[in-house]
Chain A
Amino acid sequence: MNTSSNATTTIVRHSGAYALDNYLTAGQGVKSWLLTTDHKRIGILYLWTILVFFLIAAVAAALMRIELLTPAGDLISSETYNKLFTVHGVLMVWFFLIPSIPAVLGNFVIPMMIGARDVAFPRLNLFSWYLFVAAGALALWSLIHGGVDTGWTFYTPYSTTYANSHVISMAAGIFVAGFSSIITGINFIVTIHKMRAPGLRWFRLPLFIWALYATSLILVLATPVLAITLALMSVERLWGVGIFDPKLGGDPILFQHLFWFYSHPAVYIMILPGMGVISELITCFSRKRIFGYAWVGCSSMAIAVLGFIVWGHHMFVSSQSIYAGMIFSLLSFLVAVPSGVKVFNWTATLYKGSITFQTPMLYALGFIGLFTIGGLTGLCVATLAVDVHVHDTYFVIAHFHYIMVGGMVMAFMGGLHYWWPKITGRLYPEFWGKLAAMITFIGFNLTFFPQFLLGYLGMPRRYHAYPPEFQMLNVLSTAGASILGVGYVLPLIYFLWSLKRGRLAGPNPWRATGLEWQTSSPPPVHNFEATPIATASPYLYDAEADRDLHMANA
């Protein structure tokens, strides 16, 4: 961005350097981490925390996949199976996916991308991490004391009346985690509004910022609705009567409305940040300006807004009015428009770009393919008549895993590889990176594509036993899951390895143009030697100039 104008940023642009005076060396010991208000360190605290929850939830998924190897429910009881899919859903949604890109990568790069020294409220930022840890402790307490068997959706009246499990403590954990998300959202919105560097107008913001701004709007407007809903559900469970209670004339369906009023927008909390990462990766590794910048930025906002008015498509078979169903179906189709705008613009950016297939780019390309499949099957389930057939089947499971795992987790991994040199000052090993990206892609498809077929053939979700004719596809899916597991364990190993042994990255190993690359790696405590000034678009990639530079060097 300010390659041409800003002399202050050129000071640190010597390659191969490792800035000794950085945020990691600024304080030593556990206390310096637990009391830090540095957004970069808080991002890393989140990274470790969500890793723990990811691993627990992944173990739950692995146990389910092993159980489903055989048609009979022979490994674990149906009660245990119920608890496994509940803990998998709860932890993956609230303790991994929602904080993944926003709280880890967002915390780390938002202030740097906009040329700020920190977020607007650094102490609140740390507080939100402590809330998150407290919430996780509540969730783990519920898990250790016997778990919850309601599914991550907590539908009434099962959750309020019939479930014999730790519903209230788990709901309390989610309530507190929601508080943490809200604080993060407020912090990001205020930071993006008020802390931008001179010259950084809205339409010069990186698309990652647009995506996280849209995400934050959803975080602050949707999460409180979940909070009140779970609070009302818990109070009803505690007291024996409540507003969802048919005994008083209450309506259990009202719970579903309130729950999905949060949880559908929450799906976009779990994909918009991924789209933001992909916009950065595609343009950087095609050495080309993003195609249709304003469209990509505004489509994030459009998705955030539309996300609030489509919740009823989760309730087509809930006795909701057929007319409401038709409207919700139509509105849900509209979400495909801004999503399509993004996919087409990424594709157009690739067109005639000088593409290099480094690890982040492999994840980005994987994302585009998998997200497209997830999005198109989303149209299938948004169609009233089709949904009646595939509702509550593995088709739905496959659809949202293509978005959540094929989309968000791929984007998270891509972003983590992309910004890893900035975070640690060192490069991960490229060969192993590429290998892991490809293993992940293959393993993912083998896990979840058979589930589309299973669902279409009528296998319902949430059962630990099934008719023998579904075994073949289930075995394929379980085999895929084990490959996917390898794809996730590999980065864990080489990332840790690279902390000490990785090649020094220098300030800008990707020759990227964003402000975060105009400072040393790892960055100094206050990010920049002097406040940068933005004079142009964040994507001044120029393949011609690259080639000239390459020739000159050769």
Chain B
Amino acid sequence: MNATTTAVVAEQFDDIQQQHSAAKLGMWIFLATEVMFFGGLFLAYTVYRFTYGHVFALASRHLDDVFGGANTAVLLFSSLLMALAVRAAELDRRKQLVRLLLATALFGILFMTIKGFEYRKDFVEHLVPRFDFRWDGSDAANAELFFWIYFALTGLHAIHVTVGIALILVLALLARAGKFSPNFMPVEITGLYWHFVDIIWVFLFPLLYLAGHR
């Protein structure tokens, strides 16, 4: 679990295989906790979409499909880059690993930039609950609830993306110093985390942006 360990097997393990499989299992269990963490908000979304389906559909149409769609593509592509980075680490191709990690991080940053512009647009269109929310038509309160959940879900996701970018940049630095040459496990488990963040978005996009489409 620690990015700075070199090839040396930690003293509590018998061999590198045991260390690898322990690290991988640890990360999978952590991802299970993350699923449950997001699960609370997904449950809230589900309950209220059932209760206020019509308003949620109307509200969903105020979100910009272009921003959302572009971000989906950006994040999926960054996941591909991450998978290639893990492959490069396994094959001990140091230069390629550094470049792929930097590219992954770059696409992560691109995602956050697009998200930032989108938040700005939401603000200009008075879609921010509590601070500046205006809604023409009935059921304004329920629409506000939709946008509250929208900001909570995408905000929580954005925090995870930011953590992921930071981790990947640290990995890139360490990779340049040749830290992962036989122990590529830190790259692999960070990759798992990055794919998880990606998958969360894959669920967020249809639930939030496409709920209003017929």
- Cβ contact within 8 Å between A220 and B12: no
A172 CA / B25 CA spacing, docked (Å) = 28
- Cβ contact within 8 Å between A116 and B12: yes
- Cβ contact within 8 Å between A258 and B43: yes
B200 smallest CB distance to A (angstroms) = 13
A119 smallest CB distance to B (angstroms) = 7
Q: Is A121's beta carbon under 8 Å from chain B?
A: yes
Within 8 A of B (CB), among A186-205: 186-187, 189-190, 193-195
Q: Is B40's beta carbon under 8 Å from chain A?
A: yes
Please encode chain B, from 89 to 126, with 1 for each CB lying within 8 Å of some chain A CB and 0 for all others: 00000000000000000000000000000000000000
Q: Is B204's beta carbon under 8 Å from chain A?
A: no
- Cβ contact within 8 Å between A120 and B148: no
**Which stretch from A222-230, A341-349, A419-427, A437-445 is at the chain B interface?**
A222-230
Chain B residues whose C-beta falls within 8 Å of the C-beta of A119 in the assembled complex: 12
- Cβ contact within 8 Å between A249 and B48: yes
A194 CA / B14 CA spacing, docked (Å) = 10
State which of A235, A249, A254 has its C-beta within 8 Å of the C-beta of B52. A249
Residue of A whose beta carbon sits closest to that of B10: A122
A120 CA / B10 CA spacing, docked (Å) = 9
Q: A235-B152, A242-B148, A251-B47 are in contact. Are A224 and B12 (CB under 8 A)?
A: no
State which of B13, B41, B141 has its C-beta within 8 Å of the C-beta of A228. B41
Within 8 A of B (CB), among A257-282: 258
A226 smallest CB distance to B (angstroms) = 9
Q: Is A232's beta carbon under 8 Å from chain B?
A: yes
A545 CA / B51 CA spacing, docked (Å) = 68
A526 CA / B12 CA spacing, docked (Å) = 8
- Cβ contact within 8 Å between A240 and B130: yes
Find the residue from B10, B29, B39, B130 having the highest chain A CB count within 10 A. Answer: B29
Residue of B whose beta carbon sits closest to that of A244: B44
Q: Is A365's beta carbon under 8 Å from chain B?
A: no
Number of A-B pairs, beta carbon distance below 8 Å: 110
Residue of B whose beta carbon sits closest to that of A223: B33
Please encode chain B, from 115 to 146, with 1 for each CB lying within 8 Å of some chain A CB and 0 for all others: 00000000000000110000000000110110
Chain A residues whose C-beta falls within 8 Å of the C-beta of B39 in the assembled complex: 224-225, 228
Within 8 A of A (CB), among B28-74: 29-30, 32-34, 36-41, 43-44, 47-48, 51-52
Q: Is A118's beta carbon under 8 Å from chain B?
A: yes
- Cβ contact within 8 Å between B11 and A117: yes
Q: Is A323's beta carbon under 8 Å from chain B?
A: no
Q: Is A305's beta carbon under 8 Å from chain B?
A: no
Chain A residues whose C-beta falls within 8 Å of the C-beta of B14 in the assembled complex: 531
Q: Is B199's beta carbon under 8 Å from chain A?
A: no
Chain B residues whose C-beta falls within 8 Å of the C-beta of A121 in the assembled complex: 1, 22, 26
Q: Is B6's beta carbon under 8 Å from chain A?
A: no
Q: Is A182's beta carbon under 8 Å from chain B?
A: yes
A222 CA / B32 CA spacing, docked (Å) = 10
A120 CA / B13 CA spacing, docked (Å) = 8
- Cβ contact within 8 Å between B33 and A224: yes
Q: A119-B12, A124-B1, A223-B33 are in contact. Are A247 and B141 (CB under 8 A)?
A: yes
A189 CA / B144 CA spacing, docked (Å) = 42
State which of A194, A224, A249 has its C-beta within 8 Å of the C-beta of B145. A249
Within 8 A of B (CB), among A94-119: 116-119
Q: A123-B2, A186-B30, A189-B29 are in contact. Are A254 and B41 (CB under 8 A)?
A: no
Chain B residues whose C-beta falls within 8 Å of the C-beta of A189 in the assembled complex: 25, 29
A247 CA / B33 CA spacing, docked (Å) = 31
- Cβ contact within 8 Å between B36 and A224: yes
- Cβ contact within 8 Å between A186 and B36: no
A54 CA / B144 CA spacing, docked (Å) = 43
Chain B residues whose C-beta falls within 8 Å of the C-beta of A225 in the assembled complex: 36-37, 39-40
State which of A120, A220, A228, A250 has its C-beta within 8 Å of the C-beta of B32. A220
Residue of A whose beta carbon sits closest to that of B17: A194
State which of A117, A186, A187, A243 has its C-beta within 8 Å of the C-beta of B44. A243
A242 smallest CB distance to B (angstroms) = 6
- Cβ contact within 8 Å between B142 and A248: yes
- Cβ contact within 8 Å between B38 and A228: yes
- Cβ contact within 8 Å between A243 and B149: yes
- Cβ contact within 8 Å between A195 and B12: yes
Q: A122-B12, A194-B25, A239-B130 are in contact. Are A250 and B37 (CB under 8 A)?
A: no
Residue of A whose beta carbon sits closest to that of B5: A123
- Cβ contact within 8 Å between B40 and A229: yes
Chain A residues whose C-beta falls within 8 Å of the C-beta of B36 in the assembled complex: 221-222, 224-225
Residue of B whose beta carbon sits closest to that of A111: B12
- Cβ contact within 8 Å between A249 and B51: yes
Q: Is A241's beta carbon under 8 Å from chain B?
A: yes
A533 smallest CB distance to B (angstroms) = 13
Chain A residues whose C-beta falls within 8 Å of the C-beta of B38 in the assembled complex: 228
Find the residue from B36, B39, B142 having the highest chain A CB count within 10 A. Answer: B36
- Cβ contact within 8 Å between A224 and B148: no
B127 smallest CB distance to A (angstroms) = 14
- Cβ contact within 8 Å between A186 and B152: no
- Cβ contact within 8 Å between B34 and A224: yes
Chain B residues whose C-beta falls within 8 Å of the C-beta of A120 in the assembled complex: 12-13, 22, 26
A248 CA / B18 CA spacing, docked (Å) = 52
Chain A residues whose C-beta falls within 8 Å of the C-beta of B13 in the assembled complex: 120, 195
- Cβ contact within 8 Å between B37 and A227: yes
Chain A residues whose C-beta falls within 8 Å of the C-beta of B30 in the assembled complex: 182, 186
- Cβ contact within 8 Å between B37 and A186: no
- Cβ contact within 8 Å between A243 and B37: no
A223 CA / B30 CA spacing, docked (Å) = 12
- Cβ contact within 8 Å between B145 and A250: yes
- Cβ contact within 8 Å between A249 and B33: no
A465 CA / B148 CA spacing, docked (Å) = 42
Chain B residues whose C-beta falls within 8 Å of the C-beta of A531 in the assembled complex: 14
- Cβ contact within 8 Å between A243 and B141: no
- Cβ contact within 8 Å between B22 and A190: yes
Please encode chain A, from 171 to 191, with 1 for each CB lying within 8 Å of some chain B CB and 0 for all others: 000000000001001110110
Chain A residues whose C-beta falls within 8 Å of the C-beta of B18 in the assembled complex: 194-195
Residue of B whose beta carbon sits closest to that of A236: B148
Enumerate chain A interface residues (CB-CB to B < 8 A): 116-124, 182, 185-187, 189-190, 193-195, 220-225, 227-229, 232, 235, 239-243, 247-251, 254, 258, 526, 531
23 contacts between A and B (CB under 8 A): A119-B12, A120-B22, A120-B26, A121-B22, A121-B26, A122-B12, A124-B1, A182-B33, A190-B26, A193-B25, A195-B12, A223-B33, A224-B36, A224-B39, A224-B40, A225-B36, A228-B39, A232-B152, A247-B141, A248-B144, A249-B51, A254-B43, A531-B14
Q: A187-B26, A222-B36 are in contact. List 9 more A-B contacts (CB 8 A).
A: A116-B12, A117-B12, A121-B1, A182-B33, A194-B25, A221-B32, A228-B38, A243-B149, A248-B145
